[in-house]
């Protein structure tokens, strides 16, 4: 997961230029800067802090952010192209309808920020953390999430196309009516999340573990056996059922309701058998 970010105590207060190219900034503090339509190309920011800045409709191309902090900033409609973020933190920011293309995040934290309607293409998040993020109605194409935790976030009505998830932990997410296509899930754990009527088209999952997640309306997801099995015998038996009876991509697209019926029937059968044996032992 993301490491603790360190920000230097001594920084120089500066004005943010509307146009920067091939510049390097070290330990700069940008506070309450108003730079609409700013352009920054081939620029590097090291140990910098951005607070209460207005960077809406700005363009950031081939920019490196290393150990930087964005706090209470507005980046609505901004474009980030071929960017690289290392050990950065974005918190309490408005980042609506932004475009992220071929960006790479390493050990970064995104927290308490509004990012609905954003577009991610060929972007990767490695060893990062998303928490309390609003990404409703966003589109993700060729996205890579690896060794990343996503928690307490709104991902409703999102579209995921040709994405790759590896060693990702999802917790307390709102993902109703989201759509996945040609996506691969590898060693994924989903806990206490709402994926009501989630759609999966030509997707595959290996080592997928779900806990407190309603999977009855999942469609067209091919499973392999999960790596983490529940502890109790009843949970083991019930947990295996969806892997045997999950619908394939060739079946008709309709809510899959066979799993809960078989689960309840099996539970009643085992419980009844247990009661009968106890009665025989007690001579009742």
Taking 70 as the pLDDT cut, the residues of the chain under it are 1-14, 215-265, 267, 284
- Whether 62 and 82 have beta carbons less than 8 Å apart is answered as yes
pLDDT at 222 (0 to 100): 58
Separation CA 86–CA 92 (nearest Å): 19
Q: Could you write out the DSSP letters of every residue in 216-233?
A: TT-EEEEE---SS--SSH
For domain 6-114, give the CATH number: 2.160.20.80
pLDDT at 219 (0 to 100): 58
Do the domains spanning 6-114 and 133-284 agree at the CATH topology level? yes
Where are the chain's structural domains? 6-114, 133-284
> Residue 184: helix, strand or coil by DSSP?
strand
- Phi, psi for 6 (deg, rounded to 5): -110, 130
What would be the CATH architecture of the domain defined by 133-284?
3 Solenoid (2.160)
The H-or-E segment that residue 265 falls in is helix 258-282
């Amino acid at each position: 997961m993301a490491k603790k970010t360190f920000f230097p105590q001594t920084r120089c207060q500066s004005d943010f230029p509307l146009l920067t190219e091939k510049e390097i900034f070290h330990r700069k503090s940008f506070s309450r800067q108003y730079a609409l339509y700013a352009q920054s190309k081939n620029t590097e920011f090291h140990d910098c802090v951005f607070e209460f800045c207005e960077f809406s409709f700005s363009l950031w191309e081939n920019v490196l952010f290393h150990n930087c902090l964005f706090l209470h900033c507005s980046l609505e409609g901004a474009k980030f192209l071929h960017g690289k973020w290392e050990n950065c933190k974005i918190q309490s920011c408005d980042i609506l309808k932004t475009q992220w293309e071929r960006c790479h995040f390493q050990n970064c934290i995104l927290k308490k920020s509004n990012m609905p309607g954003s577009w991610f293409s060929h972007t990767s998040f490695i060893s990062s953390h998303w928490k309390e993020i609003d990404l409703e109605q966003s589109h993700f194409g060729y996205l890579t999430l690896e060794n990343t935790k996503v928690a307490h976030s709104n991902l409703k009505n999102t579209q995921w196309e040709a994405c790759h998830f590896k060693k990702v932990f999802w917790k307390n997410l709102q993902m109703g009516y989201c759509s996945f296509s040609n996506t691969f899930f590898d060693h994924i754990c989903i806990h206490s999340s709402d994926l009501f009527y989630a759609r999966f088209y030509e997707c595959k999952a290996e080592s997928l573990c779900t806990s407190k997640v309603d999977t009855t309306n999942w469609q067209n997801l091919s499973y392999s056996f999960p790596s983490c099995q529940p502890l109790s015998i009843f949970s083991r038996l019930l947990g295996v059922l969806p892997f045997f009876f999950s619908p394939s991509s060739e079946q008709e697209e309709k809510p899959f309701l066979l799993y809960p019926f078989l689960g309840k029937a099996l539970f009643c059968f085992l419980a009844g058998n247990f009661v009968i044996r106890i009665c025989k032992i007690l001579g009742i």
